[in-house]
Structure 1
């Protein structure tokens, strides 16, 4: 009970409660039992009950407060002196005095049942105010809090460390420090984003690899930005140093596929053996300079690997994300990824987050970089433990890491481990930090190196100086030897699960048709629901219409075509994963992959009935995020080359919120890092008068990023085309991301239908020609996507047989040969016109203009909206006027 509450109770009442407890202890609650047990330990009688109750309560409050805010007095910053007192933790704050120090109190959930206040204070200070500060009392589950208490307080967060382990710690510190020093003198002035000041990271990661393997982990996936990456590559992942040195020498011929990337962005993977003989595969994911953008990619990779392991996979694969302090608090994608951690379709059994706190971001100090006390405060949203550790105390770092991994295994949650250190050099090796932080860098200049500090500590514990120096000499010798060796030629990429996938793009010629009988059978399966399931009446009718359309072989709409594509792939053993905001139903109520019982709320996924040979269907409504979810699905696709992985934007332009993932990973990872992906982006696009934010998926942005056959950009116009396109994506011999501009109004347009024969025969047509008689045609219109239906409607209505319409379904890679074939009959047409809905500075016009001119032999006329700053007008009336003008002008030529 709180002191203020107890002080309001009369001594007489307390004395009566005391006598009751003496007669029948179980008659009172646990708190009162603890109080009165403490009174007797202190030798108090009934007459002293009230004052002793206050003392007992004060001690309990003191214990609680140390657990709650002891981290505020923790000694965790290598650049400042340790705080000796805190007013909220002083004895006076609890109405206690030095006279109470040697009295014995009942401690209840303390590691000892009875202890003096002096003993209690000693344990509290050592546990919570030493080299480790812990935030954990915000966790709501008392069992999780007690789990941590039971593992921290008995040894004061300072368990004994064996000599062998101490020497391993020293060796890893030496490897980290001497590696940086070697690079500094060998490659003068070259950027490397050194780890100097944070060398303890190598000790930490080495321990994590060893401990994780002992806990049963077989795959460890690391994500980090550039600082310290080279050190991690060599001293943790096992990248041959001679290979890294070849990159420093700018040997561009060495293992570069495509355009390559700078050395501190590239990834690596290797099978490692631990000191105990266990095997573990360690992967460091490639990452651009966009700091935290790799976070969701790592999570997606881990989720896919965990699913491949099957039951218990979340304990077999461990994601480890390393962050800078400024980035962890400043980058919104961090919060997005934290939010993914416990969601059904995105959880990975807990991530170990390591925040390497350099106490500066480029040239910005913490007071200008965040509005919170700690860089890690955003992580409290998860109610998980946060450890703050002194970066010059490697034994404390190792202990906290062990607690973190054990906690993750026990509770399947993320854990945050913040290492407070410093950055010895500037932001890069060419920067002068004294320009902006002269006082801070004067401290750093005079601060001893962590490997030297730890070596001195071991000397004081009896380790011979000769042994320490010999370890360093061996490391130096290895580095010098590696510098004189040629780079090792090692196989990178396109092996393992990627065996059988080609690197090179070529014009696809794959069979995507499905027999009519199979389609009808699949149609029955995906429209059948259990007899005791009660769908919404409208959904029931939708399923009936789908079945009837398939069986009749005509009028198959977009949603049905997509369902048949998914079902046919599942029946062939290909797994399908789709996520996005409201993707189970579909933003435009066209998918309805997951049905809900209107009486019980139970769910049913009819498509799952089509799965065969181990295939699985996963469709998830994602959280309201683009960047994190798209990054996750990209990472997932890297691990599932033979599955179909899709992400759907609620509206096409919502993908703008994931532009970093698109630009830095999806469209460029093959040429930068030799990493292919078959990820599909479904981006609803089309002008229907819904304003600037709900019209355009920004076709021009994707086309601007097209080069070297890096992605596929497609604007299909029929359900059958979409069906063949999705099936083609997993049957191609290579993998390229597929950007699909999907419809909104066409989902229900009667003209946008396909016969079953189009599914049972044919393939995806990159170009759809015209059947107009060439001799009669005066005007040739070329377009893509939705506007075709408005042009065709006008052509039919006016009976214009002097006009031909060609559709470009695949905008990139553009099949120029097929376009020439489609255009050839109409080369003598008087008018040659490109028609689009989008403004002139958007859409496909700028990208296709030169190719159209080359194919036709003359410059095409442009018909569309005028160039504009926003993709569309906000007025529905103005939209209609613009749309009608475009169509009218096409027929007035």
Structure 2
């Protein structure tokens, strides 16, 4: 059914506007046009349903109700705001500083971990799958034996464990079932293309559902939908994933008007998670940056969490932390690309079953931190490049700390770690992004009066170089300067 509804603004843009400045003829007609109440009342009177006097009495009585309510409101000294979906959010409160200084219990038992790991790495024997699929799942099963879990396993284990705890999980995005970088494989197709198999829906026993959907390339619409879904589903995990972090810019309105602002504007809580693949690998200005700086510019009053994790276990704990606290705050997670298969980017079972989310990962590679003369602070995958260069150069004077959570900025944790170093150590922030982007200026603000050198690409109007060769030159310059 289609309804062709012609509507108009009786007073123009607002009640203080004068629409005749621009539409004199139209608003002469509108001024003479009866409002819907008058039109409907005329119809009822003509049909004998009520009299003119009854109509006027009802209108006057309603105006009295409004006037009395207004007078009562003026007499009150208290503001009473009914929170949106209040019944759905029983037991969930607004965040405070202590929430981000307290460790959330996100670990799971070793028995649960191994049981779920076996379930999600097994294929049904009565179905035939493409040989590369079989090899992939065999490699994942081998991670259990080797006690070395990659990024995909860390992520999938977060979903599986939450589902086993009866928290539903919903992930949608552009090619999210397989994963843009072919790492997730949440759904797999049989060799004949006739059937789909979802390992996360076959965890054994009772569990909540894990649903992964491929969405259209319509960031504005889909991100808005998932934000709304998260509002109505506070005891489930809702994730939207961009194909590349850069693509979220089409949904910038949703970030500005709702994700970053709804808590302060309307008291609305959301636990939405955004996955934004981020990292400089020579893919150009549209496939390198999730625009960390834009999100950090919007951060205040604990309205969002911004993380850039560098290990599968830390990603696992960040995801689970969304539901294992009595607060709901949007999580902006900058996820890696090259780290998905990086041989050093792995975690052990102990990291999942004994650990927790680390806002900062300290340097445990140096024998004596007090002897270090230069301390590099960084975030994201550049850590692995810095660490490799440090080892190659035998740069024992150099220590590297990873800032895994950028907001709320872990100032107290950082100050505690800095006490292990010499007071006159040279402090350096290293990033891949141009100086006017990334987290450099944000971190410098939080460091305060302490001297902080910044090593980055030069300020730029674009996020990244268009030529791979130029990217390699700039990346090498950053690493070289940092290691010196």
For the criterion TM > 0.5, the same-fold answer is yes
Quote the residue 1:816 is aligned against: 411
Picking from 469, 472, 479, the partner of 1:887 is 479
Quote the residue 2:95 is aligned against: 504
- Aligned residues of 1:520 and 1:551 also touching (Cα < 8 A): no
CA RMSD of aligned residues (A): 1.6
- The secondary structure found in structure 1 opposite 2:429 is strand
For 1:830 and 1:817, locate their aligned partners in 2 and report how far apart those are by CA, in whole Å. 18
1:753 equivalent to 2:369? Answer no
Quote the residue 1:440 is aligned against: 26
- Aligned residues of 1:568 and 1:610 also touching (Cα < 8 A): no
* Displacement of 1:886: 0.3
1:468 equivalent to 2:55? Answer yes
Quote the residue 1:105 is aligned against: none
- Which structure: greater helix fraction? 1
For 1:475 and 1:755, locate their aligned partners in 2 and report how far apart those are by CA, in whole Å. 68
Residues 677/622 of structure 1: CA separation in 2 closer, same or farther (3 Å cut): same
- Aligned residues of 2:95 and 2:329 also touching (Cα < 8 A): no
Quote the residue 1:520 is aligned against: 114
For 1:600 and 1:849, locate their aligned partners in 2 and report how far apart those are by CA, in whole Å. 53
For 2:151 and 2:346, locate their aligned partners in 1 and report how far apart those are by CA, in whole Å. 7
Greater RCO, 1 or 2 (C-alpha within 8 Å, sep 6+): 2
For 2:42 and 2:370, locate their aligned partners in 1 and report how far apart those are by CA, in whole Å. 93
- The secondary structure found in structure 2 opposite 1:610 is coil
For 2:410 and 2:256, locate their aligned partners in 1 and report how far apart those are by CA, in whole Å. 24
- The secondary structure found in structure 1 opposite 2:415 is helix
User: What aligned pairs does 1:252-651 form with structure 2 within 5 A after superposition?
Assistant: 385-388=1-4, 419-462=5-48, 463-486=50-73, 489=80, 491-493=82-84, 495-505=86-96, 506-507=99-100, 508-554=102-148, 556-610=149-203, 613-651=206-244
* Displacement of 1:421: 3.4
- Superposed CA offset, 1:602-659 (max 9, x none): 0000111227545111100011110111111111111111111111000001000100
- Superposed CA offset, 1:791-848 (max 9, x none): 0001111111110001100000011110011222224354221100000000000111
- The secondary structure found in structure 2 opposite 1:478 is helix
- Superposed CA offset, 1:184-213 (max 9, x none): xxxxxxxxxxxxxxxxxxxxxxxxxxxxxx
User: What aligned pairs does 1:737-748 form with structure 2 within 5 A after superposition?
Assistant: 737-748=330-341
- The secondary structure found in structure 1 opposite 2:202 is helix
- Aligned residues of 1:806 and 1:822 also touching (Cα < 8 A): no
- The secondary structure found in structure 2 opposite 1:577 is strand
Residues 776/459 of structure 1: CA separation in 2 closer, same or farther (3 Å cut): closer
Return 5+ residue gaps in structure 2 as ranges.
none
* Displacement of 1:566: 0.9
Quote the residue 2:324 is aligned against: 731
Residues 612/626 of structure 1: CA separation in 2 closer, same or farther (3 Å cut): farther
Q: Higher Cα Rg: structure 1 or 2?
A: 1
- The secondary structure found in structure 2 opposite 1:825 is coil
- The secondary structure found in structure 2 opposite 1:479 is helix
Picking from 665, 675, 692, the partner of 2:258 is 665
- Aligned residues of 2:164 and 2:207 also touching (Cα < 8 A): no
- The secondary structure found in structure 1 opposite 2:136 is helix
Residues 706/827 of structure 1: CA separation in 2 closer, same or farther (3 Å cut): farther
Return 5+ residue gaps in structure 1 as ranges.
1-384, 389-418
- Aligned residues of 2:85 and 2:232 also touching (Cα < 8 A): no
For 2:254 and 2:325, locate their aligned partners in 1 and report how far apart those are by CA, in whole Å. 24
* Displacement of 1:853: 3.9
For 2:136 and 2:230, locate their aligned partners in 1 and report how far apart those are by CA, in whole Å. 32
User: What aligned pairs does 1:11-50 form with structure 2 within 5 A after superposition?
Assistant: none
For 1:421 and 1:875, locate their aligned partners in 2 and report how far apart those are by CA, in whole Å. 52
- Aligned residues of 2:370 and 2:422 also touching (Cα < 8 A): no
- Aligned residues of 2:372 and 2:422 also touching (Cα < 8 A): no
* Displacement of 1:427: 0.6
- Superposed CA offset, 1:499-539 (max 9, x none): 11122332242211122222111111011222121222111
Residues 459/729 of structure 1: CA separation in 2 closer, same or farther (3 Å cut): closer
For 1:824 and 1:704, locate their aligned partners in 2 and report how far apart those are by CA, in whole Å. 29
User: What aligned pairs does 1:45-56 form with structure 2 within 5 A after superposition?
Assistant: none
- Superposed CA offset, 1:552-594 (max 9, x none): 312x110111111111111111111000010000000000000
* Displacement of 1:494: 6.9
* Displacement of 1:489: 4.0
- The secondary structure found in structure 1 opposite 2:143 is helix
- The secondary structure found in structure 2 opposite 1:579 is strand
1:788 equivalent to 2:383? Answer yes
* Alignment: residue pair count: 474
* Displacement of 1:453: 3.3
- Aligned residues of 1:779 and 1:829 also touching (Cα < 8 A): no
- Aligned residues of 2:377 and 2:430 also touching (Cα < 8 A): yes
- The secondary structure found in structure 1 opposite 2:369 is coil
Quote the residue 2:451 is aligned against: 859
- Aligned residues of 2:83 and 2:268 also touching (Cα < 8 A): no
Quote the residue 2:314 is aligned against: 721
For 2:270 and 2:205, locate their aligned partners in 1 and report how far apart those are by CA, in whole Å. 24
- The secondary structure found in structure 1 opposite 2:400 is strand
* Displacement of 1:697: 0.3
- The secondary structure found in structure 2 opposite 1:710 is coil
- The secondary structure found in structure 2 opposite 1:834 is strand
- Aligned residues of 1:519 and 1:550 also touching (Cα < 8 A): no
Instruction: Give the TM-score taking structure 1 as reference length.
Output: 0.52
- The secondary structure found in structure 1 opposite 2:83 is coil
- The secondary structure found in structure 1 opposite 2:72 is coil
- The secondary structure found in structure 2 opposite 1:484 is helix
Residues 422/826 of structure 1: CA separation in 2 closer, same or farther (3 Å cut): same
* Displacement of 1:694: 0.2
For 2:205 and 2:369, locate their aligned partners in 1 and report how far apart those are by CA, in whole Å. 48
Relative to structure 2, which stretch is displaced further, 675-684 or 600-609? 600-609
- Superposed CA offset, 1:742-797 (max 9, x none): 00011111111112221121101101111321232111111111100000001111
Quote the residue 1:875 is aligned against: 467
Instruction: Give the TM-score taking structure 2 as reference length.
Output: 0.95
For 2:145 and 2:87, locate their aligned partners in 1 and report how far apart those are by CA, in whole Å. 42
